[in-house]
Structure 1
C-alpha cells in the first residue's frame, strides 16, 4: 500500500506563494482559481502581523485539499466522481462523471479547497500552460488540488515542491516508515487541520 502525502514546515514557510503559482501554472488553472492558497495566520489581511507592537508575529499556512485518509467528500458523491485512488491514497476528481451537485464541497470541512466552474473556464492568456497530461477543465464541475497526479504517475513530485524557496515542503509515502515524511512526523511536533472531524488528513504541519 502507498499513502502519499505532504509535510509543511510552518517555521520555514515565508509566505512567498511560489507554491500557489507553481500549482496554477502546472495545472493550467482558470482565472481566479487557486488550488493552493497561502494564508496569513492572525492578521486581518494578507501579510499583516498578529499582535500588538512590539510583540508581533507573522506566520503563514498553505491550504489545499488535504487528501484525507477518511475523506468526507467521497462518501457523499452520488456518482463516484470524487474517489480515493487505491494505489496512491490520493483523493481524485473525475470531471467526466461530475454532475455539479457540489455535495463534496458541502461535506468537506476545509473551506475553500474546492472550486466550482459555473461557466466555461476562462484564462489570462490564450494558450494552455503547464503539463500536457492535465485533464481539460470543464464547465459545471468541481475542481481541487490533485497532488499533481499527472506528475506522480511519472514518478515525479508535485509542482509546488519544486519552487518552494524556503524548502518548507516535503513529499512522500506515509506507509513507508523510512520515508522522509514519516520520519518528520515521528521526530517533530506537528498539527493537522480539524483533526476532530475524523477525516485523517494526509497533510501535516510542523510547528
Structure 2
C-alpha cells in the first residue's frame, strides 16, 4: 500500500514501515474531541538512524496545519559534528513531546493549554491571549506564537487526523520510515513494542517531564540539543516582503 496516500486508513488494519495501527475511524470523522479518549495514550518513536534530513515531515506539517511562514510545528534540526577528526551531519527530528507532566500547562493563566485524556497536549485558541508563558516554559523549544493568530501554536500529533483514523502528516510522509506513531496502551502496537524492546531515549530526561516522543539511536550528546539551525531546508521569504 502506498504510504503517501492522504486517505491511508489505519482503522482497516493496514500498516507500513513507520506506521502503527490506530483505532477505526469514528462515525463523525470530522469531529475532534476536546477531552480525548482515556483508553489510548498516543506517542511517537523516532528512529534517528533512518532520518535522512529531507524535511518532508516539516513540509507536510506546514501544509496540513497551515503553519505560518518561518514557523514550525516540527522540524529536523541538522548539526555539524566531528568525530575522530571526520566531519559529518547529525539529524534530530523535533516536535512537541506531549509530556506526561507538561510544564507548559501550569504556567498558562487562562487554561488555554491543556492535556487531553489520551495524552495529547493542545491549545484552545479561543482562550489563549498570546502571553507566551508556555513558550518560555517548554524545555524543548517546541512552541511559538503564531504571528497570524497571535496565539500559542505547536504540534498536536495532527489530532484531527488521529481521530479520523489517520496517521499524523509527518509520519505518513516520512520517506525513511523514521517516525512511528501509535498507542502506548496497546501492548501489541509497534510503538509499545519498540519502547519495550529498544530502550529508546528522550530529550532532556533530567527535566522529569516524561516525554512521549522517544528516540532510537539517539547519541547521548544530543539529548540536550533542542535548538539548532536546520541547514538543509528553510522556507524562502515571500518575494513581496523582500522588496517591501
TM-score grouping bracket, smaller chain normalisation:
0.7 to 0.9
SS in 1 for 2:114: strand
Corresponding position of 1:128:
none
Distance 1:9 1:160 in 2: 13
Residues 83 and 54 (structure 1 numbering): CA distance in 2 closer, same or farther, change over 3 Å?
same
Deviations 1:103-161 (A, max 9, x none): 111211112x111134xx2xxxxxxxxxxxxxxxx2x2110011111101111110011
Deviations 1:148-188 (A, max 9, x none): 11101111110011111101110001122211001011111
User: Could you tell me which of 188, 200, 203 is aligned with 2:198?
Assistant: 188
Corresponding position of 1:9:
47
Corresponding position of 1:76:
107
SS in 2 for 1:21: helix
Corresponding position of 1:32:
70
Runs of 4+, deviation exceeding 6 Å: none
Distance 2:83 2:178 in 1: 27
User: Could you tell me which of 182, 193, 208 is aligned with 1:198?
Assistant: 208
User: Could you tell me which of 114, 118, 142 is aligned with 2:143?
Assistant: 114
Deviations 1:50-77 (A, max 9, x none): 1168633432011111111110111111
Q: How does 1:48-197 map to 2 (within 5 A)?
A: 50-51=81-82, 55-86=86-117, 88-111=118-141, 113-118=142-147, 121=148, 138=149, 140-197=150-207
State how many pairs are aligned. Answer: 179
- State TM-score, norm by structure 1: 0.82
SS in 1 for 2:101: coil
Distance 2:72 2:86 in 1: 32
Distance 1:10 1:76 in 2: 32
Corresponding position of 1:129:
none
Gap runs ≥5 in structure 1: 44-49, 122-137
SS in 2 for 1:59: strand
SS in 1 for 2:166: coil
Aligned CA RMSD, in angstroms, stands at 1.4
SS in 1 for 2:61: helix
- State TM-score, norm by structure 2: 0.70
